[in-house]
Amino acid sequence: MSALTSLLSTLPEGNLPKWLLFVASLGIFNSVQNFVTDALSKRVYAAKPAEVTPLAGRMFATWTMSVSMIRIYAAFHINERVMYHLAIGTYSIALMHYLLELLVFRTCKFNGPFLSPFIVATTSLGWMFSQYDFYVKA
């Protein structure tokens, strides 16, 4: 049995924990790329790419790594109310950020690079709210 298979077998039942782990993995990749280059971030904030500085990229990388750690922990402890709430909080803050950047600060364009994190945040929030009673017992 591979180490990955062994690790995945310790996840709680259902697909939501796997989704949290998958999204966290993407977040770790995104963090690494933000520490190395700002090219992908400039595509997300395509309306004002000059505002994506190396410092902003590193700060975004640090934020993304932090929320990825919360999501990893939540994937394995999804039945714990506090972890579930923290995971919901990470997606709520992400969604708020992207909506503000699109509608208020106008740094984003409604394009593929913007839609990816927007869809992940909205899908995750909807899924987590709809499955709350299944995973979190009173």
The pLDDT tens digits for 69-80 are 999 999 999 999
Residue 1: the pLDDT is 65
Domain count, the chain: 1
**pLDDT tens across 89-126, in order?**
999 999 999 999 999 999 999 999 999 999 999 999 99
How would residue 5 be classed by pLDDT, with cut points 50, 70 and 90? confident
In the structure encoding, which two tokens stand for residue 22, read together? Answer: 């998958």
How would residue 6 be classed by pLDDT, with cut points 50, 70 and 90? confident
Q: Which domain holds residue 21?
A: 15-130
Of 65, 87, 66, the closest CA to residue 76 belongs to 87
Instruction: Answer yes or no: is 42 within a domain.
Output: yes
Instruction: Answer yes or no: is 98 within a domain.
Output: yes
Instruction: Answer yes or no: is 3 within a domain.
Output: no
